Amino acid sequence: MRLRKKPWMAKALAEYLGKEIIAEDIDKNKGKWQELVGGKSLALEIGCGKGKFINGMAQLYPEMGFVGIETQLDICYYPARQVRENKLTNVKIIGGDAAYLTQWFLPGEVKMIYLNFSDPWPKARHSKRRLTYRDFLLQYKTILAPGGHLRFKTDNKDLFDFSVEEFKAFGLQIIALSYDLHNSEYENAVQTEYEEKFSAKGNKINFCEVVF
């Protein structure tokens, strides 16, 4: 997702930094995320973009705590604004790169990870940047509680096929798989911004859920 530089953004963002958005000393919350967002268990969305999914999920499941991670600070403004407008106390947005997950979360601190329409990085030489590359899976394994789940959806078939192969190579148990989520038996409570955009164009949505 690319945003054009907006002159008003720095001031708008400042309203949320250190409140709904955590972008500094992120590791100081290690082991305390659940306390910070409340909830019986902690779910992450990595690459939350403008935040329709994480806000929708937080409203639908108030008993759970949610942390969105978004590497582009300017984009963090959008989910944070929704969190404030919706008066949600069970969501925080981390402004940072998921490459540092194990510095921010204790082993076993997270119950569920959502990856929605992750950047595909189509060139083979960039494959290590894909959020389903095995180095990322290793980080997810560290921070997830034993038996924790990862749910992944994308319209990008190449990224999906690559990811399913990575899940298998990593020895993860695949408990759900669909090449057409919207016409499947699987629950899909909240659609993301990208999901709405690409399914409206007729793209099929691929979905996979694995257990660590």
119 is catalytic: yes
Cα–Cα distance measured from residue 89 to residue 25, given in angstroms and rounded to the nearest whole number: 20
Q: Tell me the C-alpha to C-alpha distance, in Å, between residue 91 and each of 21, 35, 124, 129, 179.
A: 9, 11, 35, 26, 30
Q: Under rule CB under 6 A, which residues in 77-106 are in contact with ligand SAM?
A: 97-99
> Least separation, in Å, of the C-beta of 190 and ligand SAM?
10
Cα–Cα distance measured from residue 88 to residue 26, given in angstroms and rounded to the nearest whole number: 20
Q: How many helices (H) and strands (E) does the chain have?
A: 8, 8
Rg of the Cα atoms in the chain: 16
Site string for ligand SAM, 26-65 (x = CB under 6 A): --------------------xxxx----------------
Tell whether residue 70 is a contact of ligand SAM (CB under 6 A). Answer: yes
Question: Smallest Cα–Cα separation from 139: which of 166, 168, 99, 111?
Answer: 99
Q: Under rule CB under 6 A, which residues in 163-192 are in contact with ligand SAM?
A: 192
Catalytic residue among 119, 155, 161, 180: 119
| Count, residues near ligand SAM per rule CB under 6 A | 21
> Least separation, in Å, of the C-beta of 57 and ligand SAM?
12
Candidate segments 16-24, 32-40, 68-76, 167-175, binder of ligand SAM by CB under 6 A: 68-76
Site string for ligand SAM, 113-152 (x = CB under 6 A): ---xxxx---------------------------------
What backbone phi and psi angles, to 5 degrees, belong to 9?
Answer: -65, -45
Cα–Cα distance measured from residue 107 to residue 31, given in angstroms and rounded to the nearest whole number: 9
> Least separation, in Å, of the C-beta of 119 and ligand SAM?
5
CB atoms near residue 11 (< 10 Å): 8
Please list the active-site residues. Answer: 119
Positions touching ligand SAM (CB under 6 A) are: 1, 46-49, 69-72, 75, 97-99, 116-119, 192-195
